[in-house]
Amino acid sequence: MKAVIMAGGFGSRLYPLTAKRPKPMVPLVNKPVLSHILGLLKHHHITDVIITVKHMANQVQEYFGDGTRFGMKITYALEETPLGTAGGVKNAEPYIGNEPFLVISSDIVTDIDLTKLIRYHRDKQAKVTMALKRVNNPKGYGVVLLDKRGGIQHLLEKPQPDEIISNIVNTGIYILEPTVLAYMQADTKYDFSYDIFPQLLDDEVPFFGYLASRYWRDMGTIQNYEQAVVDVLDGKVNHIRLGTPISPGTWSGKNVSIASDAVLLGPIYIGDNVKIKPGVTIYGPTVIHDGSVIDRKTWIRNSVIDEGSYVGKHTTVYQSIIAQHSYICSESVVIRKLIHNEAQAAPVKFKLSPFPISLKEHFMSGYSYG
């Protein structure tokens, strides 16, 4: 089976992480989120992939190439103008062929069992099968009502609070028969949830929902991104491997320099070519991305330091995201902040407690290792 990855979006809700990169290239701990999607597909023996691209498409194409180094075949379907989720898939039609195919969003984090999803689609003789997930708060998602056979009765995209009919939501993963593409014209903007799926329901096309039990999270907002980072570090996403373990709950990439007196209390991921200088203390969940420098006697907790950033001496960073190539001056205090790309944070004129906590408090905060 082939897969189409929808990767043409702008990722505006993930700004500033998407200021200089497309949404599929946003790093999720140790790799771009799109790389984790490819890893999931390969785990389920799906190695022939079409990626729909538009915004900053060259970054995706340059990083992933033809897929050879990932053991996959990758083809790109470039959108000249924004075509929406379904229109982008229609644009990939010349590469899809005449067999059923999988469609998956590029901004989700999941280990849903795609093999079971495909089997369910075939057993039901469906034209469309949507992977579904129960969530605590369905606000902001497409909610779904199922019949007793698993057929989809009703879809409501991003309902108001008084319109929520279910806590079962659309995950952005579908199996489609190629005949569904006939519902769309070429070079025309269509959305699956607003345009195509309602039409399929009206036409009483066999349309089923597969209720998945494994991990799934939409990574489309900063808040969801932060939670996805925590969940990956905490081992909740089965197929993601975090690199070389260097201590309990701490992993690293290549060519990492860590001072012998640095204190690292995971879960923490440290990327390639990172330098952590003497006297630094880092509490998880924290990610230090490739090429960043953490200078002397700095304290970091529950934060993401994006690639190529410098955090100066005697600085406190707490519950913050520091975007690419930022410069944080010495003696700065960064608390619950989003620092934009290439920003410079000036030092403060006062000292705040770096919220020191005991080992007991850290390990009672709910982080596990394994």
C-alpha 228/C-alpha 232 separation (Å) is 6
Which tens digits make up the pLDDT trace of 298-334? 999 999 999 999 999 999 999 999 999 999 999 999 9
Domain count, the chain: 2
Domain housing 52: 2-233
pLDDT above 90: residue 213: yes
Report the alpha-carbon distance of residue 353 to residue 264 in Å, rounded: 19
Q: Flag whether 45 is in a domain.
A: yes
Mark which of 210, 233, 256 sits at the end of a domain: 233
Q: Mean pLDDT across the chain, nearest whole number?
A: 91
Mean pLDDT of 15-33: 93
CB distance 30 to 75 below 8 Å: no
One domain, residues 283 and 141? no
User: Same structural domain for residues 200 and 272?
Assistant: no
Asked whether residue 111 falls in the same domain as residue 40, the answer is yes
Tokens read off for 199: 């039409």
Task: Please give the model's pTM, rounded to 2 decimal places.
Answer: 0.90
Output the pLDDT for position 339. Answer: 81
Buried-exposed string 79-103: b where 16+ CB fall within 10 A, e elsewhere? beeebbbbbbbbbbbeebeeebbbb
Domain assignment of residue 238, yes or no? no
pLDDT tens per residue, range 121-165: 999 999 999 999 999 988 889 999 999 999 999 999 888 888 888
| 322 and 355 within one domain | yes
Average pLDDT over residues 207-215: 97
Model confidence at 347: pLDDT above 80: no
The domain boundary, picked from 179, 200, 233, lies at: 233
Give yes or no for residue 189 having a pLDDT over 80: yes
CATH number at residue 75: 3.90.550.10
Q: Are 51 and 5 a contacting pair, CB within 8 Å?
A: yes
Residues 284 and 175 in one domain: no
Q: Is residue 51 domain-shared with residue 173, that is, in the same domain?
A: yes
On whether both 73 and 211 belong to a single domain, the answer is yes
250 in the same domain as 227: no
